[in-house]
Chain A
Amino acid sequence: MAEHDLSKTIIPYLDRHLSFPLLAHLVETSLFPVEQVQAAQYELAKGTNMFDYAVNLFEQIHPDQQVPAEFDEKRKNAVSTHERLQLEAQAVLDVIENPDVAQALRQDKNQNLQYLKDNYGLTLDQITALYNFGQFQYSYGNYSGAADYLYHFRVLSTDNDLNTSAHWGKLASDILTGRWEIALEELNTLRDAIDSRSPSSILAPSAASNAPEPALVQLHSRTWLAHWSLFVYFNHPQGRTLLLETFLSPTYLNTIQTSCPWILRYLATAAILSRKSASLPASASAPVSSRVRNAIREVVKVIQTEEYQYQDPVTSFLKELYVEFDFEAAQRELTLAERVVGDDFFLGEFREEFLDNARYLISEAYCRIHQKIDIGDLSERLNLSRDEGEKWIVNLIRETRMGADAKIDLEKNVIQINRPPLPIYQTVIEKTRGLALRTQAIGAAAARTGQQSVAKTETQAPAVAVK
């Protein structure tokens, strides 16, 4: 199964600290020899300021060797740096935590800076100390502290590059502390920041000169974001739906296709997992967008086009099921996919759910195509024993709308599916349903363009004036 493990592909796109959980997971799954994974962990930890952890690992790997002395020295250095940085940062924090100041701060960052400078003698350099300290804290594993400092820094700083960097740092910290709600928020703001990068870089030539090709930078940022967001999306309760929302948007779909096709596994899994919310009438929970509803169809299309450069059991399962309609092959792939999902760091928890949903998909497709189904055969398709299968199918029929159409004939041991063809008027209604809405949207968009151009010039004006 090791060949389907994506850790190796994903880790280059992650922060050093974010890779630890992945490696820890690898130790558990024992896909790879434990020693190797530990060696990797050690190598990773060596570069951070988490010396105790590194030493610990070293002792695990080489139980009979002396711990290298450099760690002690480094630790000393780190401690002194920590003190220095803390002092610097504390100065700023003292000011900011003053309730008067908190009240006086406004939306406009430049004004804030001016205010701080005038009243408290705080300069931009001092504020940068917040950033440095945050970063340092992050480097020795105090993620929540890092998150705090970076947050404060971001509120105050006007430096675009450092802000972005702080964004990433904050996101990583939130991920590592497991505060998924906050991380999700952070993720969304970061995504917006990345998406709006190109217009802002036009406004700010300084950023453009640093990065000669903003589009390229943007692509890289999106790639990174796609990887980091996996942490959030597979841990947040609503994550799967949000993942579909994000990754199926053209920009991210393009990013995935262009630079990281392996994300398709997660996309495919998310599509399968969100089957229930998709198939249920939308009224039940929050309204699901049609992007999520048609997720599987979309994903299958992408899988098909990307087949030549990426496939794994999960994508193959969807392909066999919806492109080839080869149920036997789909079943085979499902067995494989189940294990892959189980072993995957992000997907591990969803193994059961995945299997359940995948089975549902198979039976749905099967029932739609067939008129008379042998229960034994279907059970086999679903990797279930005969009795289990029967139970499962009954549940299925009860659960879904199929109840009216499908009947089990126990004597012959078959399911009879009687689906009368859709009346013509209904197809016509189906086809014309969305039209009114779409027309409205067009109208609204057309109306908005007028306003928008006005608004745009307005927003641009102060930005220019500031420079």
Chain B
Amino acid sequence: MSRFFRQAGDSDSDSESSDDESMSSGAEDVPQRPPASTAKPAASMSRFLKTAGSDSSDSDSDEDSDSDSDTPHRRRSGLPTIDDSDDEESDDADAPGVRIKSAAERRLDEMKATGKAIENGLKINDWVAISNEFDKLARMIQRQQNVSEPVPPFYIQTLVSLEVSINTAAAKEKEAKKKMNATNAKALTAVKQKVKRAIKEYEVEVKKFQDDPETFEREYAAVVAPEPVTSKRTSTQTGEATEAENFTPVGKGGKVMQFTADGIFKNLQAVQEARGKKNTDRAEQIRILEKLLEVSVTSYQRIRVLLALISSRFDYNSSVASHMPIELWLSAQREVDQLVAIVATDGNYSIQELTDDYDESIERSPTTEGGIVRIRGSIISFIDRLDDEFTRSLQNIDPHGTEYVDRLKDEKVLYCTICRAQAFYEKTKQDQPLGRVIMRRLEHIYSKPNAVVQALEAAADVSEFKPNMILSVQGTTSALIHALCVYLYKSGNSLLRTRAMLSHIYHHALHNDFYTARDMLLMSHLQESIHSADVATQILYNRTVVQLGLCAFRSGLIKEAQATLQDIFTTQRVKELLAQGVHQQRFQVLTPEQEKAEKQRQLPFHMHINTELLEAAFLVSSMLVEIPLLASIDSEEMKRKAISKPFRRLLDFADRQVFTGPPESTRDHIMQASKALQDGEWEQCRDLIQSIKIWSLMPEAATVKEMLAQRIQEQGLRTYLFTYAPHYSALSISLLSRTFSLPPRTVTSIVSKMIWNEELSASLDQSGDVVVFHRIELSRTQQLAQSVAEKLAAMIEQSEKVLDVKMGGASGWGDRVEGTKGDKRNEQAQERRGRGERTRGARGGPRGGRGGRFSQGLGNQMPGQTQRGE
């Protein structure tokens, strides 16, 4: 496609034809514009810029946006759908000099063509056409004015003649009423109004023209002529009108003037005003600004231009769905670096979001400002945007291709930029943006293994601006993350604090520091408030919890792992909750907006937590918890009290299978392993579990497998005892130890534990080294009585809880027991923040023996009450 442009440009043959085209396109341009917009200078302004922009656009760059690609073709093939943007493109391939000339020329030609069309309209009395043409003319004039060229006499001439025609037409209309149809009449009135307005606007010129058309034209030429002519190529095209020659250099001169140091502010303003307009050609704006950057001299100029340039780079891609082109991103990144460097080295300039009003069009320096020059802008938002765009591009790139990996390499430069910005903010002591930038930095490293963080830090270490917190200073990654988090804890922003907390916990979990991670999670009490957080934080929370579960699993804390992962698996929407895939909803269809929002929050692939591994960890730990439990309960009723519903469901499903083949999926493996465990065949269970392939994704896979094997042995023994106890009156320890290849001491320990906890009614006979079972068969009545008693106890427990909630923070009932817990909670959260240290557990709430404590609390309450009363 770009080749196409270049060829066209080289040939240089189409300057003439382009004129024709522009004429015709100009004519067809009109119906698309509503007449109301004629008098808006801004709108036409943008069109001008766009014209200018597309002229020069992309003749040199390969990434000419796709949207443009088909329009030239269309034009070539002469299709009638040429639209507004087309004429701008007509000669985008031309060299600048030619382009400039022809643009000005074309404007005049267009004007002329319009004038002609108006005349034609007059002849056939077609006021609708006239109205349209006039609108167009007005717009062109507006454009003319925006480049500060004087109003061409041609326009005034048309205006005057039009006025006359209208008057006569109106007069005629009055006489012969039936001659015009409704639309025509309406158009006539509209034109009349507009002409009136236009004449009023250009009253002076009109008057002059009416007095002496000749002088007026001469004057006009005189104004225009002195403009310097620097273009290599002079006008070769002499139009029908002599004025054309005069206009051309003006256009050229104005254009060239843009790229000098003096004109910077004017141009900047023009660009800024065009920003965000519908038809602004963003690519061209960027080019203009790049040019401006080259010519800018002072720091002030460079800062201003950089600010504008970076914004327009980010503007380039307005659609939410797609991502910023990578080259553009890279240059934006470099420019942010530059900007930071300028501001960091020269303390006399400061970029702030809120400043006093200042004249944008004059040069300012520390001397004129008397101290620090404050410029409106926000570096932090650039950093944010840069980071977001990076994430977005990762979201959109196929994660399995090399492109993704290539893109991922850019993280390094991004990380450097963030570090630099951090250093800058540290230096200038701007706390709020510093918090944000540190958060960004943290988000880049919290979920990464040490090696990656080291690589990133090594890159950041090279840069000349270094933040205080850096790996080489802190020593270890954990220390670095700790330092970053501590800063954020101290900052006032609660959102940042929450996110830092979660990232910190995640990091601990990732490094197998289960206890610290758990304590921090519990002490932060995030689980109570997370429901009201924003979606991104909730996702982070989910990720953290899941990582914590995996961490527990890796550390061999099966129960904890099961409990932690349980919540997320019962929802059955793991992928969605972790933002690693869009959930297919069965019953309701998502609106496109919802879908888009969901897509946007997806995590880039490299940050995913492998869900299959997760599931394997969850199911295996469920198996180890659930199977002995299942074996221990004999009544059907109790069986319903499942610990892990998802696991139970799968197990039931597997039970119903008439024929089971060799296991294929991870799930199959685990289900068959569960059945083997139920039957007491722990070796088979172990082999099945260990043959699951997904473990290889887990760090320290070998030790994890070993740990699992040991757990399987132990739980196998427990299951066996539960299941087969009724069939024996005594079992020898040595037999058990042989069957489960556990040392006799471990067997004794396990059995003792079961006896002590009254799970197993048995006792050890030391002389014979056997376990003697005392089994009692419960009658139905006894069973029922027991369950009634249990239910009663549960009910009381429930009412106590309800009461606790009701009394809540009122330090009311059970002063010692529950009331102060609220305070404690607060206190610990604050304590943690205050010290910024990880501290220890707030768990160990009153799980057992609550009843007694509770009455105690009541007793103690009175003195406390009177104390306070004093």
Any chain A CB within 8 A of the CB of B734?
no
In the assembled complex, how far is the CB of residue B257 from the closest CB belonging to chain A, in whole angstroms?
60
User: Contacting chain A: which of B16-24, B64-72, B158-166, B813-821?
Assistant: B813-821
> In the bound complex, do residue A374 and residue B830 qualify as a contact, i.e. CB atoms below 8 Å apart?
no
| CB neighbours of A309 from chain B (8 A) | 515, 840
| CB neighbours of B854 from chain A (8 A) | 438, 441
For the complex, would chain B's binding face be called helix, strand, loop or mixed by DSSP majority?
helix
Contact flags B771-793 to A (C-beta < 8 A → 1, else 0): 01010101000100110011011
> In the bound complex, do residue B764 and residue A371 qualify as a contact, i.e. CB atoms below 8 Å apart?
yes
| CB neighbours of B870 from chain A (8 A) | 107
In the assembled complex, how far is the CB of residue A35 from the closest CB belonging to chain B, in whole angstroms?
35
Any chain A CB within 8 A of the CB of B696?
no
- Excluding A250-B824, A368-B755, A425-B785, 15 further A-B contacts by CB distance (< 8 Å) are A199-B811, A215-B831, A219-B827, A251-B823, A259-B839, A290-B849, A301-B844, A306-B841, A326-B745, A371-B772, A427-B786, A437-B855, A438-B855, A439-B796, A459-B868
Any chain A CB within 8 A of the CB of B401?
no
> In the bound complex, do residue A259 and residue B767 qualify as a contact, i.e. CB atoms below 8 Å apart?
no
A431-445 at interface with B (beta carbon < 8 Å)? 431-432, 434-435, 437-439, 441-442, 444-445
Contact flags A446-460 to B (C-beta < 8 A → 1, else 0): 101100110100010
Taking A215-B826, A438-B796 as contacts, is the C-beta distance between A448 and B842 under 8 angstroms? no
Contact flags A355-396 to B (C-beta < 8 A → 1, else 0): 000000000010011111110010000000000000000000
A184-206 at interface with B (beta carbon < 8 Å)? 192-193, 195-196, 198-200
Taking A254-B828, A258-B828 as contacts, is the C-beta distance between A328 and B745 under 8 angstroms? yes
Any chain B CB within 8 A of the CB of A63?
no
User: Contacting chain B: which of A91-99, A132-140, A292-300?
Assistant: A292-300
Any chain A CB within 8 A of the CB of B749?
yes
In the assembled complex, how far is the CB of residue B830 from the closest CB belonging to chain A, in whole angstroms?
4
Complex Cα distance A325/B782, Å? 31
Complex Cα distance A297/B767, Å? 29
Complex Cα distance A446/B774, Å? 45
For the complex, would chain A's binding face be called helix, strand, loop or mixed by DSSP majority?
helix
Residue of B nearest to A255 (CB): B824
> In the bound complex, do residue A445 and residue B763 qualify as a contact, i.e. CB atoms below 8 Å apart?
no
| CB neighbours of B829 from chain A (8 A) | 215
Any chain A CB within 8 A of the CB of B367?
no
Taking A306-B840, A306-B841, A421-B776 as contacts, is the C-beta distance between A216 and B834 under 8 angstroms? yes
User: Contacting chain A: which of B227-235, B432-440, B466-474, B856-864?
Assistant: B856-864
Any chain B CB within 8 A of the CB of A90?
no
B792 contact from A290, A425, A432, A445, Cβ within 8 A: A432
B residues near A (Cβ < 8 Å) are 515, 523, 745, 748-749, 752-753, 755-756, 761, 763-768, 772, 774, 776, 778, 782, 785-786, 789-790, 792-793, 796, 799-800, 803, 806-807, 810-814, 816-818, 820-821, 823-824, 826-831, 834-835, 839-849, 851-856, 858, 863-865, 867-870
Any chain B CB within 8 A of the CB of A23?
no
A441 contact from B765, B774, B789, B855, Cβ within 8 A: B855
Complex Cα distance A258/B848, Å? 20
| CB neighbours of A438 from chain B (8 A) | 796, 800, 851, 854-855
Complex Cα distance A323/B752, Å? 10
Provide 16 A-B residue pairs closer than 8 Å at the C-beta atoms, listed in order of the A residue: A251-B821, A254-B844, A259-B839, A289-B853, A324-B749, A326-B749, A369-B764, A371-B772, A424-B776, A424-B785, A427-B786, A442-B796, A445-B813, A446-B813, A449-B813, A459-B868
Complex Cα distance A432/B795, Å? 12
> In the bound complex, do residue B786 and residue A258 qualify as a contact, i.e. CB atoms below 8 Å apart?
no
In the assembled complex, how far is the CB of residue A13 from the closest CB belonging to chain B, in whole angstroms?
15
| CB neighbours of B523 from chain A (8 A) | 258
Any chain B CB within 8 A of the CB of A417?
yes
Most chain B CB atoms below 10 A, which of A199, A308, A365: A308
Any chain B CB within 8 A of the CB of A230?
no
Any chain B CB within 8 A of the CB of A242?
no
In the assembled complex, how far is the CB of residue B794 from the closest CB belonging to chain A, in whole angstroms?
11
Taking A249-B816, A374-B767, A455-B869 as contacts, is the C-beta distance between A369 and B752 under 8 angstroms? yes
Complex Cα distance A453/B807, Å? 11
Complex Cα distance A391/B143, Å? 114
> In the bound complex, do residue B849 and residue A291 qualify as a contact, i.e. CB atoms below 8 Å apart?
yes
In the assembled complex, how far is the CB of residue B815 from the closest CB belonging to chain A, in whole angstroms?
8
B763 contact from A301, A325, A369, A377, Cβ within 8 A: A369
> In the bound complex, do residue A258 and residue B849 qualify as a contact, i.e. CB atoms below 8 Å apart?
no
In the assembled complex, how far is the CB of residue A339 from the closest CB belonging to chain B, in whole angstroms?
25
| CB neighbours of B765 from chain A (8 A) | 370-372
Any chain B CB within 8 A of the CB of A406?
no
> In the bound complex, do residue B749 and residue A325 qualify as a contact, i.e. CB atoms below 8 Å apart?
yes
Taking A215-B827, A259-B839, A306-B841 as contacts, is the C-beta distance between A290 and B748 under 8 angstroms? no
In the assembled complex, how far is the CB of residue A431 from the closest CB belonging to chain B, in whole angstroms?
4
In the assembled complex, how far is the CB of residue B845 from the closest CB belonging to chain A, in whole angstroms?
7
A residues near B (Cβ < 8 Å) are 107, 192-193, 195-196, 198-200, 213, 215-216, 218-219, 245, 249-251, 253-254, 257-259, 261, 289-291, 293-294, 297-298, 301-302, 305-306, 308-309, 322-326, 328, 365, 368-374, 377, 412, 414, 417, 419, 421, 424-425, 427-428, 431-432, 434-435, 437-439, 441-442, 444-446, 448-449, 452-453, 455, 459
In the assembled complex, how far is the CB of residue B737 from the closest CB belonging to chain A, in whole angstroms?
15
Most chain A CB atoms below 10 A, which of B786, B806, B845, B868: B868
| CB neighbours of B844 from chain A (8 A) | 253-254, 257, 301-302, 305
Taking A251-B820, A257-B840, A326-B749 as contacts, is the C-beta distance between A216 and B827 under 8 angstroms? yes
In the assembled complex, how far is the CB of residue A463 from the closest CB belonging to chain B, in whole angstroms?
10
Complex Cα distance A453/B806, Å? 13
| CB neighbours of B818 from chain A (8 A) | 250
Residue of A nearest to B755 (CB): A369
Complex Cα distance A421/B852, Å? 26
> In the bound complex, do residue A258 and residue B845 qualify as a contact, i.e. CB atoms below 8 Å apart?
no
Most chain B CB atoms below 10 A, which of A254, A302, A322, A372: A254
> In the bound complex, do residue A445 and residue B807 qualify as a contact, i.e. CB atoms below 8 Å apart?
yes
Residue of B nearest to A193 (CB): B867
> In the bound complex, do residue A449 and residue B812 qualify as a contact, i.e. CB atoms below 8 Å apart?
yes
Taking A213-B831, A258-B841, A437-B851 as contacts, is the C-beta distance between A424 and B768 under 8 angstroms? no
Complex Cα distance A290/B523, Å? 28
Complex Cα distance A322/B755, Å? 12
> In the bound complex, do residue B840 and residue A259 qualify as a contact, i.e. CB atoms below 8 Å apart?
yes
A250 contact from B792, B807, B846, B851, Cβ within 8 A: B846
Residue of A nearest to B841 (CB): A257
Residue of A nearest to B514 (CB): A308
In the assembled complex, how far is the CB of residue A220 from the closest CB belonging to chain B, in whole angstroms?
8
| CB neighbours of B840 from chain A (8 A) | 257-259, 261, 306, 309
Complex Cα distance A368/B790, Å? 24
> In the bound complex, do residue A445 and residue B814 qualify as a contact, i.e. CB atoms below 8 Å apart?
yes
Complex Cα distance A269/B515, Å? 25
Complex Cα distance A431/B807, Å? 27
Complex Cα distance A208/B786, Å? 53
Residue of B nearest to A424 (CB): B782
> In the bound complex, do residue A414 and residue B767 qualify as a contact, i.e. CB atoms below 8 Å apart?
yes
> In the bound complex, do residue B796 and residue A290 qualify as a contact, i.e. CB atoms below 8 Å apart?
no
> In the bound complex, do residue A377 and residue B846 qualify as a contact, i.e. CB atoms below 8 Å apart?
no
Complex Cα distance A198/B813, Å? 17
Residue of B nearest to A325 (CB): B752
Most chain B CB atoms below 10 A, which of A193, A199, A249, A414: A249
Most chain A CB atoms below 10 A, which of B772, B799, B841, B848: B841
> In the bound complex, do residue B821 and residue A250 qualify as a contact, i.e. CB atoms below 8 Å apart?
yes
| CB neighbours of B853 from chain A (8 A) | 249, 289-291
> In the bound complex, do residue B786 and residue A213 qualify as a contact, i.e. CB atoms below 8 Å apart?
no
Complex Cα distance A372/B772, Å? 10
Most chain B CB atoms below 10 A, which of A198, A325, A459: A325
> In the bound complex, do residue A290 and residue B864 qualify as a contact, i.e. CB atoms below 8 Å apart?
no
In the assembled complex, how far is the CB of residue B192 from the closest CB belonging to chain A, in whole angstroms?
74
Residue of B nearest to A310 (CB): B840
B842 contact from A249, A258, A371, A449, Cβ within 8 A: A258
